[in-house]
Amino acid sequence: MSLLEVTGVGVALAGTSLLNNVSLNVGRGQVVSVIGPNGAGKTTLLRAIANDLQPHCGMVELAGQVVASIEPRRRARQMAVLTQHNALDFSFTGFEVVSLARGPHSTGAAMDRRICREAMEAMDVAHLSERLYPTLSGGEQQRLQLARVLAQIWRAEDADGRLLLLDEPVTSLDIGHQHQLMRAIKTFAATGVAVLMTVHDMTLAAHYSDTVVVLNYGRCLASGRPEAVLTESLINDVFATQVSIVPHPQTGKPVIVGC
């Protein structure tokens, strides 16, 4: 059984349907990327999974339990969420920002410090430990925030199954740090974490994901291996633009080129 099971989920707000009968699953160690145009329902899907929005139909289960029924502190030990916008105006140091993640745990100060240092090293932000958060660039803040959510679910022994939800994690990052971040996510998933993220860059999604899910108008149009899902005809239809797809010269993964 997959760690995350989303079955027939529908979400409506103010009489407008945002998700309609969406189903997907993510296994331990698997990276699943959700793509789709603006307004397709990608963020709504993550919010429904995180229990920030209540579906009017369907079910979200984590490790065999309905997410809404899991006690909040325990859920925070199992599930970490990185949203698109993470406003923080307090003059916390980088290390203090990452340390916020350890609140749901009772692992002790020494262990928490070690976990935070390891998560910061994984995201190449250890050098920002003493820097004040508001003085950092948008990209540096984004990488610190990812280190924070990694630290929240860093150890397998702290939870019965771990899920990482990421909403556009490469926003504000240069190309080098985009790939560094995606490699870090892939490495983290290999420790047994299920990862579900929204991604605008389809070439990045194809390179680092085991499965790609396509949403449009709140519906799931396709799901499967990147090579099978990311076709010229599907992308042309969903995004209303002409593209060509060529295989990457080293990996063979799809590279999407605008025409």
What is the enclosing helix (H) or strand (E) of 145?
A: helix 138-152
pLDDT (0 to 100) of residue 88: 77
For every one of its 259 residues, what pLDDT tens digit does the chain have, with 9 covering 90 and above?
Answer: 699 999 999 999 888 999 999 999 999 999 999 999 999 999 999 999 999 999 999 999 999 999 999 999 999 999 999 998 777 778 899 999 999 999 999 999 999 999 999 999 999 999 999 999 999 998 999 999 999 999 999 999 988 899 999 999 998 899 999 999 999 999 999 999 999 999 999 999 999 999 999 999 999 999 999 999 999 999 999 999 999 999 888 888 899 998 7
**Distance between CA atoms of 239 and 201, rounded to whole angstroms?**
12
pLDDT (0 to 100) of residue 245: 92
pLDDT (0 to 100) of residue 259: 72
pLDDT (0 to 100) of residue 168: 94
pLDDT (0 to 100) of residue 1: 66
Domains of the chain, with CATH numbers? 4-258 (3.40.50.300)
Contact partners, residue 31, CB within 8 Å, separation at least 6? 185, 186, 189, 195, 197, 208, 209, 210, 211
**Distance between CA atoms of 164 and 175, rounded to whole angstroms?**
22
* Overall size of the chain counted in residues: 259
122, 126, 158 from 115: Cα distances, Å: 11, 12, 12
Residue 114: count other Cβ atoms within 10 Å of its Cβ: 13
